[in-house]
């Protein structure tokens, strides 16, 4: 059974979704997946608690079961995103290099854009090769705030 619950956070309202065993989505705002039951489960509560700890600078690594759905390439990119250290940023080129395909910068960008579990899979840590913030599902202001939280709590 898919469950979802809305939370008010440092970056505004978010919706966390789980499939009974793992977190599958984080949505900015109160959007919800079709067929999801709106109810707070133990796993959703735990995910929100870890987010609160992250926003308060007390958590640098999330300890949650994650199950993002995507292509094999997307999953490879999302796994590489999880290897970016807290408080650091990598470029799309860095990620492409880390997955063994230096020419896949554009495809890495597309996979980053499709990340269904932002923050827990830290796509906000990916910036342009010129050092500028580029695209983020929650908006560049949210990306900047997340990076600021990490920089402040290093």
Catalytic residues: 123
**Burial class of residue 78 (count of CB atoms within 10 Å of its CB; 0-12, 13-18, 19+):** buried
**Strand pairing category for 37-38 and 3-9:** parallel
25, containing H or E segment: strand 23-28
Q: Cα–Cα distance between 143 and 154 in angstroms, integer?
A: 17
């Amino acid at each position: 059974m898919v469950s979802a619950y809305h939370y008010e956070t440092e970056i505004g309202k978010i919706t966390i979704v789980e499939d009974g065993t793992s977190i599958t989505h984080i949505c900015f705002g109160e959007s919800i997946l079709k067929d999801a039951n709106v109810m707070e489960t133990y796993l959703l509560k735990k995910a929100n608690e870890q987010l609160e700890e992250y926003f308060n600078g007390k958590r640098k690594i999330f300890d949650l079961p994650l199950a993002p759905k995507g292509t094999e390439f997307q999953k490879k990119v999302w796994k590489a995103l999880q290897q970016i250290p807290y408080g650091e940023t990598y470029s799309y080129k860095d990620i492409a290099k880390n997955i063994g395909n230096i020419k896949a910068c554009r495809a890495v960008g597309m996979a980053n854009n499709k990340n269904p579990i932002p923050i827990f899979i830290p796509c906000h840590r990916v910036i342009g090769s010129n050092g500028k913030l580029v695209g983020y599902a929650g908006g560049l202001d949210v990306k900047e705030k997340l990076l600021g939280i990490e920089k402040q709590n290093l």
